[in-house]
């Protein structure tokens, strides 16, 4: 059972990430007065970096198990 995927944990993580993103969006736009374009560019850049780091971690684990 070590290789099974816990769907509840994944759903909780995704829900928490969405809530945090919405809260940060509101704070950036309403409280700090940042322009929408700046917030969108920052969000895309952050998502890209997080995706790259997750892909590197995933692929390095797969490659090291093959050896």
pLDDT digits (tens, 9 = 90+) for 13-25: 888 888 988 898 9
Residues 42 and 29 in one domain: no
Provide the number of structural domains found in the chain. 2
**Could you tell me which residue, 61 or 20, shows the higher pLDDT?**
20
Domain around 8: 1-34
In 1-67, where does DSSP find H-type helix?
A: 7-26, 36-66
Residues 46 and 64 in one domain: yes
Q: What is the arithmetic mean of pLDDT over 27-39?
A: 93
Both ends of the chain: CA-CA distance in Å?
23
pTM of the model: 0.62
Q: What is the arithmetic mean of pLDDT over 40-47?
A: 89
Between CA 15 and CA 19 the distance in angstroms is 6
Residues 40 and 66 in one domain: yes
Residues 1 and 15 in one domain: yes
* 36: Cβ contacts below 8 Å, ≥ 6 apart: 29
Task: Evaluate whether 24 touches 40 at the Cβ level (below 8 Å).
Answer: no
Structure tokens at 63: 């490659």
Q: What is the arithmetic mean of pLDDT over 9-16?
A: 84
């Amino acid at each position: 059972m070590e290789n099974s995927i816990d769907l509840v944990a994944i759903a909780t993580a995704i829900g928490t990430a969405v809530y945090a993103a919405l809260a940060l969006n509101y704070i950036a736009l309403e409280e700090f007065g940042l322009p929408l374009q700046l917030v969108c560019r920052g969000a895309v850049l952050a998502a890209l970096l997080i995706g790259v780091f997750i892909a590197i971690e995933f692929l390095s684990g797969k490659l090291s198990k093959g050896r």
